[in-house]
């Protein structure tokens, strides 16, 4: 089953959902702002993405600046804790297929994941 970390207010996130629907692909929609992922789930997603936790952080998000996160030096564990406490900072959309995942920026990342 494909999972989508989705924010319905986000254009890119809606594009990812529409892509899956247009291909007739069933998926589980995870509204991570309503039900934030645990640190364990985030670690699993990050591993599937093949990135460092900091790369999953939305650094252009207003909250990032408000929290003055640029001024801090964080470990991977710290970044995960920041995202758990502030799920709005998690990059989106994320599409998970088995042991792989892709961030849908650009949407072609999801196409590549689905076609692999």
Q: Write the DSSP string, 76-108.
A: HHHHHHHHHH-GGGB-S-EEEETTEEEE-SSTH
Please enumerate in sequence order all residues whose Cβ is within 8 A of that of 2, keeping only pairs 6 or more positions apart, or say none.
20, 25, 26, 27, 28, 95, 96, 97
Does residue 53 have an active-site annotation?
no
In CATH, the number for domain 2-115 is 3.40.30.10
Active-site residue (options: 2, 5, 9, 10)? 10
Domain ranges of the chain: 2-115
What pLDDT digit, counting tens, does each position of 2-49 carry?
Answer: 999 999 999 999 999 999 999 999 999 999 999 999 999 999 999 999
- Would you state the structure tokens that stand for residue 109, as one six-digit string? 């990342």
Cis peptide before 106 (omega within 30 of 0): yes
What pLDDT digit, counting tens, does each position of 75-100 carry?
Answer: 999 999 999 999 999 999 999 999 99
């Amino acid at each position: 089953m494909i999972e989508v970390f989705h924010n319905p207010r986000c254009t890119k996130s809606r594009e990812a959902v529409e892509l899956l629907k247009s291909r007739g692909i069933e998926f589980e929609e995870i509204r991570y702002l309503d039900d934030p992922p645990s640190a364990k789930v985030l670690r699993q997603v990050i591993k599937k993405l093949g990135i460092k936790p900091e790369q999953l952080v939305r650094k252009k998000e207003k909250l990032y600046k408000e929290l003055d996160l640029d001024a801090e030096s964080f470990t991977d564990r710290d970044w995960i804790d920041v995202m758990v406490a502030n799920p709005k900072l998690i990059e989106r959309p994320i599409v998970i297929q088995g042991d792989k995942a892709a961030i849908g920026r650009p949407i072609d990342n999801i196409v590549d994941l689905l076609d692999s």
